[in-house]
Structures are given as C-alpha cells and as structure tokens.
Structure 1
Amino acid sequence: MFRSKRPFCITLFLLVSCALSACENSRAASPQGPAAERWSQAHLEQVTATIQTQVEALRGEKYARPVDVEITDTRGFIEHATQRMAKLTTEAQLSAEEDVAKLLGLVPPEMDLWATTFAVLEGQVGGFYDPGNDTFYLMESFTGTLAKIILAHELTHALDDQLYDIDGTLKPLLKHRDRAAAFQAVVEGSGTAMMSQWMGAYGEPLSPAEAAQAASMGTESLSEAPPYVWKPLLASYTIGNTFLDRGYRMRKKDGLTFADVTRIAFQSPPRSTEQVLHPEKYWKESERDDPVQIELEIAPPADWKVLEESSLGELALTLMTEEPKEIDFSNPMALVFLKYTNAAARGWGGDSMVLLGSEEGRYLRVMTIWDSAKDADEFRAALEERLASWSRDVALLGEGGTVNLEPAAAAAPLAVSFSAWHGVSDAQLESLAKAVSVK
C-alpha cells in the first residue's frame, strides 16, 4: 500500500545491518585512521567500472551499456526525489495516500506524512539509482568500503533496469498499492541478494569509523516515525531477499539458476505482498495463491468523487493489526529480526479499498476476503481490539470522525468489511454506504 514513498531504488536500512555483520564477522577491522577524503568523480567512475565487472561475474549477465554515476548531497537527493515523485504520481494521489493512512489509524492525525517520510529518507539514504534517467547517485559522505557496498547494491538495480525496465513494469502497478509493493520487494530483494554475494566475494572489512557511520545512519528519524513510514521500506529489502532466495531453493532442482529466478520474478512479478511473504504461494505451482479480485460497483453521491480505488494486502493489514513494540533503533541488528506478518493478517485472500471525498469529508470503505472462516474471525478479532483507539484517532481528523466494523454475516463467513469517515452528515452516510457494493 506504499506506492509513493520510494521514488528511487535506494540503499538504506538493510545496508546498515549487512555492513555491521560484515564488520563483526571479518577477521579484523582496519584501524581508525584519519577521516577518509570524499571521492572525486574520476575515482567514483573507476570504482564503478570495477564493481560492474564483478557484478556481471557474480550474476552471469552483462550490462548493455555503462552506468552513469554522480556524487550528490542531501539537497541533490531531495531535488531529484521531488522531481521523480512528480513524474510518477500526482498531488491528488499523495493526498489520498495520506488520507487513507490516517483513516486506517496508521499515521497520527496531526502528522505531515510526506515531510516525515522525507526526513526518514534523508537520514537513511546512502545512494540511489534513478530508473528515470539510468543514473546512480552516491551520497558524498560515503567512501571506502561502505561506498563500495552501496555501489554493489545500486549497480544491481542498474543491471535489472537494463534487462527488465523497472519503470516500465512499475508504472502500471502504481494504482495497485499491494502489487506495487510486491514488485518493489523484487527490485530491492535483487539488489540485496547481489550486495550480499558481492560482500562475500569481494568485500573488505569495515573500519571502526565506517562501522560507526553505518550504525548512526538516521536512527533518530526512525524512532520519531510510525512503522507505516519505515517498515514497508525495510520489508522490501528483507522479504524481497528471502522471496528470491526461497524461490531459488525451490526451483534449483528444475535446473534454474539464481539469475533465472530473478528473471522470472521481474518478468512475471508476484501479484501480492502475500506471495512475497509466503514464497511458496508464488513459486510452487501446487500452492500458487493469486489474490481474489473483489470487483466493486461505485456510484458516489452528488458532490462526492472517487479519490482512490486500490488494494491494501497482507503487509498493510499486518501493520493495522500488530501490537506496538519498542525497538532499539540504536542497534541496527534489531531491525533484522522484525516480523512482517502475523496471525491476524495471514490467510488473506484479497481486498478492495475505496476512498471517496467531498470538499469537507472523506469516506473509506474496505472489503476483505479470507481463505477460511477462522482466518476471517482472527482478523475481525484483531480489529475489534484496536477499535476504540482507532476511532479516537479518526475522530480527530474532522467532525463526526469514526470507524465502523461491519457485523459478521452468516451468509459471507469469509468476508470482513469496515469503514472510516469524517466530515459526513447522517444523510450522506446512508448514501455513501450504498455507494460502494460488490458487483
């Protein structure tokens, strides 16, 4: 459900954990020494050419052309990110995503979602590849081993882009939140897998200074942001990597290489985060589980319009139903052991979400379908547990704000539906409830 948060293929959270692991597992770290000088453009190009050759050797595939590389700073990142978001999405779509997040109770009512998102990205980004102009950008503060790790990750994105056209696949998926998140997991999973392989084959120990730099990357901005902002970003690295690794383990008996598995995932992406979270539901034909399509008939009343129609998916519903936990962000390794699904969200079959809006009001309707009545009951019970606090948050969004969890229906034991709204009169509410129905 997080289609707009990451305008680039970026190296952030997982790099920290992997880099620290490499440092801890190496035989010895380099001495502290003086602060490293920032790389020149010529040196960046030289190192890039070397790592491109190494990535080709590990992957068994060739770049079609050299990759443009540049050094940039935080201001440059923000400028590029802003321009890229403008190409991929609209202000109305960004506003709708914030509305949905707040109506689901995933973001505090007073929070500026996009300012918070950019604050997290600013503190975390080490480098980024922009598929829109086929260019890799290295943040100027990174040199030495850390910069090379970032290059290995981002140059994998460049290779995948040349082979499979990342933007060409992503753009049609952006209106489907869950499918876009699943594809982003493939993209970042590929980069993470190659980064790990590169570190094993060519990586050098981090110096104490580099380890300290990695450990301090943006932890303050993480601790100040809700999981909705940072957890899906981190998930794309971790569950994406696992998705490809498990796919390779399942399919190598058929003679497939890791590059073959990666190609399949790019050319025929998983259709949901459920398939990424549970790789057998994508890779094993006998267990293949594509999402159920809930086709809706939408007829907004006068002065109302459809602001968004999409799907949330298992990862988003996990965020809705998980218990808040304290995380020690000063310890990057703590991020490695995070969970991205739970009992309440497992067994997801499919869902449809519609956001309607008027000048003053917002109305969100979500319909879900589950694999079994037990799965539906578990999800409903989890929503009931947080209903009071969720309703209090929605009440702060505007006049009459509240949440309605629709009663269980004996005729539809696999279905769970709910609505959230504010700025809606009683008369409008009756019309809005009838405005969204299953075909």
Structure 2
Amino acid sequence: MLPSLAFLLSAAALPQDPGHGFDQAALQAKVDEILPRVAELRGWEFKKPVPAGVKTPEEFLDYAKEEFESEYGAEQLAAMAQEYRLLGLMDPDLDLWQAMLDLLQSQVGGFYDPKTEAFYMISTFNAGLMADIIMAHELTHALDDQYYQLDRMMAKASGLSTDAEFAVRAVVEGSGTSLMSLYSVQGAMKGWLDMSDPDALEEMKEMMAASTEGLAGAPPFLVMTLALPYLEGNKFLARESNTMKATMTAPDPDELDHAFRRPPRSSEQVLHFEKYWDDEQWDPPVPVDLSRVANRLGALGWELLDQDTYGELACFVVTEEEPPNLADPMAQMSAVWTNEAATGWGGDTLQLYRNEAGGHLAVWATVWDTAADAGEFSAALRETARRNPFLRSVDEGETAVVAVFADDAAAAGAAEVREAVRRAVPKLFE
C-alpha cells in the first residue's frame, strides 16, 4: 500500500535552478492569478482562498519521510518490501524505502497538502510556462478537496487495500490531469500561456527528459502505481480509451461528481472503465476470505504480518515478462496496462507471514470471472518461475488460483503451508 502522500504530487519535475525559483510573494501572486482560471474551467467556485508556501527540496524530503512513517511505520513498509520481493515486483536487493524517496524527489515540483489545505512549490522549481501548468493541476486538487475532502477519501481507501487506493487516486489525479490538459489548451487560446516562446518549448522538452530519467531504476509496479492514476485516471473520467482524445475531453460534471462520491473500487474498474460506468457491466471486486488460513497457519507457528489486495494491475505486472516502460513517453501514450492473464480478475487476497527463523512466505489467492480466465492466469504465473525463484507452488480450482511464495529461510515450510491452505479454504480448489 502506498502512502496517501503519493496522490498529491505533480507528475513531472522541471529542471531546477536556484536562481529562477519562487519566493513567497511571487508564488502567492501566481496562485491568485491561476485560481479563477481553474474555477472557470471546472465550473465550480473555490469556497475559500488557497494559501501557498515555498519549501526547499530538503524540507519536502523531510515532509515525505514524515508522511510515510506516520501512515505506515517501519514494520508496514518492511512488509510491503517483502511482498514486492516475493511476487517478483522488484529486485530482491533493492531498498524499497530509498527507492520511494528517490522517485518522489525526482518527480516533484509542487504539491497540495489536504491536511494544511495549502499548496506548496519547491523553492528550486523554475518559474515559467510549465510551472503554471503544474500549478493548475495542484490547485485542482485544492478545489476538489473543498468539495470532497480528499484526505478523508484517501484514508478510507488506504484502510481497504493497495488496489482500492489506486482506484481512488485515479479519480483524484485523473481530475487534476484533465483540468491541467484543458488549462494548457485554453491557456494557449486565451493568452494565459505563450506557447510560441522557444525557451518555454525547450523547457518542456527538458522537463520530459528529467521526468523520465527519474523513473529509471525504480520498480515497475511502484512506478505504475504512482504514475498510472494520472494517465489512466484521465481516460477513466473521460470514458475514452485513446490517451490523446482523453486529454482533450472534459469529464461530464455529473459523472465527475459521481466518481468522487462513489469512486471505483479496483484497478480493474479503472483499466476497464465500462465495468464502472456501465450498469450492465458493473463488476466490483469479489472478497477473498483467508481468515481460516491465518488461523491454521498461526497454529503452525507462522506470524501474519500483512494482508492486502493487489488487483488486476499487479496480476499484469507479475505475469508480463517485459511491462511497458513508463520512462518512455511513447509507452505512456500507447501502452495497454493489462494482458490476457490478468483480464477477468475477480478479486484477490495476499497474506504475508514470517516463521521463527525470520523467513517470509506469502499466500496469494485470486478468483476469476471464468474457468478460462483462471486457467490463463495459472499458466502465466507458472511461467514466472523461470525468473522468480520465490514462487513455490501454484494450485488451481475451477475459478481460483492459489500461489505460495517463500524466500530461502521459509522455503522448507512451503509444502506444509500449501496443504494447510487447501484444508482451510477447500472451496477455492473445487
């Protein structure tokens, strides 16, 4: 599960130059200039002013660390890292905590904090064309927050699962991205933005290069959970599968309101937006109860550390040998973020355990819409054993697939756990 901090961040950072950043007075003046434009484009009025502040890169990093630690703590972050390692979502030797901080630091130019209801710009972030556009994105968060209490939305999703949190962030970031795109178009037409300035265009190119370089080396699943809410969230709200068309389409106001009040419940509903918007195709996630597994394994000496739902997006990343590279701008525009193995996802639960020797083991139970869907995922998951030595077993029921992952210190108990799971939830194997 990723901290709610993540949905507040701008999608890209500009080249930074301490001599061309913002001071407090200049930033507040720029915010006051952009606020009414955001209100006009959205068709909503701000209920109150949005204070603006300047933070140094060091202050932002301290803020990010505090948010991470207060929301999860060291134990939860360590559990997430173990899950990523076991599922093959990252290099086993990678420091996930540091990778998160590095990724955020490389991408952030400004952010809106719903706790303080204020917008902050990083002090070294260059003033100019792209700064205005990014401000429009972040100030959209401020506007949405005044109507829908983003902090409360995110806290509720965070208490559910990684997958539910992704879906909520797709609404929040999709809203910001949609208005940011419209701001760019209208800004060029109305003279807010000077798109003929060659220096500004060069700055945009530098921004893209700096942003994509910052994604290199980070775990693909981490990058996707941070970046795709912007891209896929925009398409979700526009109800448009073509990325370019989505950027030019303003969401229907009533549908936007509906999405904020009743957000999608899974990455599946975001990636296949008809499963959210079309009543006849409405497809909420199916609960997968592993409480009996926890009881049985607890009696065998296994300590339950974490339980989560990873969703269709994770099923895609786990089974796709070479997922699209978000560091490639073309992939951002044209990639499909699912595959045959992940399509047809119905629900899942992953449990992480630790034994007395300090070894870690995960039980991942997934359910599928049809037997064919389960068979495709099962076959693809077995194929991943070639590149993931932690996969110990894959068992298939008619519409369910249960996998056991274990590191070397827990591998000896994997067979025992596999049998215990069969006895605890026999219906999954029917």
- With the shorter chain as reference, the TM-score category is 0.7 to 0.9
Cα displacement (A) at 1:292: 1.1
Distance 2:89 2:319 in 1: 10
Q: Is 1:61 aligned to residue 44 of structure 2?
A: yes
Cα displacement (A) at 1:116: 1.2
Partner of 2:212: 219
Partner of 2:171: 186
Question: Which of 124, 139, 142 is the aligned partner of 2:126?
Answer: 142
Distance 1:326 1:272 in 2: 21
Q: From the superposition, tell whether residues 54 and 302 of structure 1 become closer, same or farther in structure 2 (CA, over 3 Å).
A: same
Partner of 1:420: 405
User: Does the 8 Å CA contact 2:341/2:377 hold for their aligned counterparts?
Assistant: yes
Partner of 1:30: none
Q: Is 1:265 aligned to residue 259 of structure 2?
A: yes
Give the gaps of 5 or more residues in structure 2: 243-249
How large is the RMSD of aligned CA atoms in angstroms?
Answer: 2.6
Distance 1:343 1:432 in 2: 26
Query: What SS is found at the alignment partner of 1:84?
Result: helix
User: Does the 8 Å CA contact 1:321/1:344 hold for their aligned counterparts?
Assistant: yes
Letter in 2 for 1:308: D
Letter in 1 for 2:345: W
Distance 2:184 2:68 in 1: 31
Letter in 2 for 1:414: T
Distance 1:5 1:105 in 2: 24
Deviations 1:116-140 (A, max 9, x none): 1211221111211112221211122
Deviations 1:344-363 (A, max 9, x none): 11111111111112351212
Distance 2:168 2:345 in 1: 18
Deviations 1:24-50 (A, max 9, x none): xxxxxxxxxx99732221111111112
Distance 2:129 2:318 in 1: 38
Cα displacement (A) at 1:328: 8.6
Partner of 2:68: 85
Query: What SS is found at the alignment partner of 2:305?
Result: strand
Cα displacement (A) at 1:433: 4.5
Partner of 1:23: none
Q: From the superposition, tell whether residues 56 and 177 of structure 1 become closer, same or farther in structure 2 (CA, over 3 Å).
A: same
Deviations 1:233-273 (A, max 9, x none): 12111110000001899xxxxxx972322221111111111
Deviation larger for 257-266 or 51-60: 257-266
Distance 1:272 1:367 in 2: 16
Partner of 1:49: 32
User: Does the 8 Å CA contact 1:405/1:418 hold for their aligned counterparts?
Assistant: yes
Distance 2:411 2:322 in 1: 33
Q: From the superposition, tell whether residues 185 and 326 of structure 1 become closer, same or farther in structure 2 (CA, over 3 Å).
A: closer
User: Does the 8 Å CA contact 1:8/1:128 hold for their aligned counterparts?
Assistant: no
Question: Which of 159, 169, 182 is the aligned partner of 2:143?
Answer: 159
Partner of 1:399: none
Cα displacement (A) at 1:428: 7.5
Partner of 2:231: 238
Q: Is 1:350 aligned to residue 343 of structure 2?
A: no
User: Does the 8 Å CA contact 2:171/2:229 hold for their aligned counterparts?
Assistant: yes
Partner of 1:403: 392
Cα displacement (A) at 1:90: 2.2
Q: Is 1:195 aligned to residue 180 of structure 2?
A: yes
TM-score normalised per structure 1: 0.84
Q: From the superposition, tell whether residues 41 and 333 of structure 1 become closer, same or farther in structure 2 (CA, over 3 Å).
A: farther
- Residue identity over aligned pairs, in percent, reads 35
Distance 1:191 1:315 in 2: 22
Partner of 2:246: none
Partner of 1:362: 360
Give the gaps of 5 or more residues in structure 1: 17-33, 250-255, 395-401
Letter in 1 for 2:139: L
User: Does the 8 Å CA contact 1:102/1:108 hold for their aligned counterparts?
Assistant: yes
User: Does the 8 Å CA contact 1:185/1:276 hold for their aligned counterparts?
Assistant: yes
Q: From the superposition, tell whether residues 212 and 86 of structure 1 become closer, same or farther in structure 2 (CA, over 3 Å).
A: same
Cα displacement (A) at 1:6: 4.6
Deviation larger for 312-321 or 225-234: 225-234
Distance 1:328 1:169 in 2: 27
Question: Which of 66, 70, 88 is the aligned partner of 1:105?
Answer: 88
Q: From the superposition, tell whether residues 6 and 405 of structure 1 become closer, same or farther in structure 2 (CA, over 3 Å).
A: farther
Q: From the superposition, tell whether residues 427 and 61 of structure 1 become closer, same or farther in structure 2 (CA, over 3 Å).
A: closer
Letter in 1 for 2:208: A
Deviations 1:291-341 (A, max 9, x none): 111122221135432211121101111111113168494x53443223211
Distance 2:387 2:414 in 1: 25
Query: What SS is found at the alignment partner of 1:55?
Result: helix
Question: Which of 280, 285, 295 is the aligned partner of 1:286?
Answer: 280
User: Does the 8 Å CA contact 1:8/1:131 hold for their aligned counterparts?
Assistant: no
Deviations 1:369-396 (A, max 9, x none): 11112211111121122212111xx3xx
Cα displacement (A) at 1:425: 6.5
Question: Which of 73, 78, 99 is the aligned partner of 2:56?
Answer: 73
